[in-house]
Amino acid sequence: MSDFRRFFVPGGTYFFTLVTYDRRQILTTKEGRTRLHHSIVDVRNQWPFRLFANVLLPDHWHCILMLPSGDAEYSKRVCKIKNDFTRRWLEDGLPEATVTKSQKRRGERGIWQPRFWEHTVRDEDDLKSCVDYIHWNPRKHGLVGQVKDWPWSSFHRFVDEGEYEADWGGNAPDCMKTARDWGE
């Protein structure tokens, strides 16, 4: 049995990686984007958070959530988003991957990988590294030649807010130069 522990900081900022089951490329489809958007909105209405930065790739989603003061229930929010997405996906008759008998007994479905990867953001420098990683991710995976060409990213909002130049990402950011597990 693994010694898996999560770190909870009330009012904290967290980086997440959520991966589809069997790396199915469903998230950037119109169906995937629409269902994820509605799931985020519905969960945020019930369990407030700020979606600070994110990027949606075909088979995984990176995001940074900021929780309200005194609240450390990030796991509940992430699980609710995944469950709501799964419910919407299946209710609309969209296909799921085949799961094992053991997974079926545990109530798992073939939409998301079980669990998720989380990193508690420690400070402003760490936040910058996480945001840079999120926005660089489509380049990392060879999906675009320029970061600005990936449509499903908060990069465009950050450019509008003056945090990045539109041509940012010509070279790998510093966060890519150090060995770090990003949950992929």
Each of the 184 residues of the chain gets a pLDDT tens digit; together they read 445 556 678 899 999 999 999 999 999 999 999 999 999 999 999 999 999 999 999 999 999 999 999 999 999 999 999 999 999 999 999 999 999 999 889 988 999 998 999 999 999 999 999 999 999 999 999 999 999 999 999 999 999 999 999 999 988 888 887 777 888 8
Cβ neighbours for 143, distance < 8 A, ≥ 6 positions apart: 57, 58, 150
Residue whose C-alpha is closest to residue 184's, from 122, 152, 145, 136: 136
> Is residue 6 domain-resident?
no
Q: Does 27 fall in a domain?
A: yes
**And the tokens for 16?**
């997440």
Q: Is residue 107 part of a domain?
A: yes
Q: How far is CA 33 from CA 27, 124, 145, in A?
A: 6, 29, 22
Q: How many domains does the chain have?
A: 1
- Residue 8 CA to residue 121 CA, distance in Å, equals 11
CA–CA dist 32, 15 (Å, integer): 21
Residue-level pLDDT at 182: 82
pLDDT score of 39: 98
Residue 182 forms part of a structural domain? no
CA-CA-CA-CA torsion for 49, 118, 84, 142, nearest 10 degrees? 110
Q: And the tokens for 117?
A: 């990867």
CA atoms of 1 and 5, how far apart (whole Å): 12
Tell me if 157 is assigned to some domain.
Answer: yes
CA separation for the pair 56, 33 (Å, rounded) = 8
Residue 53 within a domain? yes
Q: In the prediction, which pLDDT does 1 show? A: 41
This prediction's pTM: 0.92
What residues contact residue 123 under an 8 Å CB cut-off, 6+ apart?
Answer: none
The CA distance from 68 to 59, in Å, is: 29
Whether 3 is covered by a domain: the verdict is no
Residue 141 lies in a domain: yes
pLDDT of residue 98: 93
Residue whose C-alpha is closest to residue 65's, from 133, 151, 140, 130:
130
CATH number at residue 146: 3.30.70.1290
Look up the domain containing 91 and give its range: 13-174
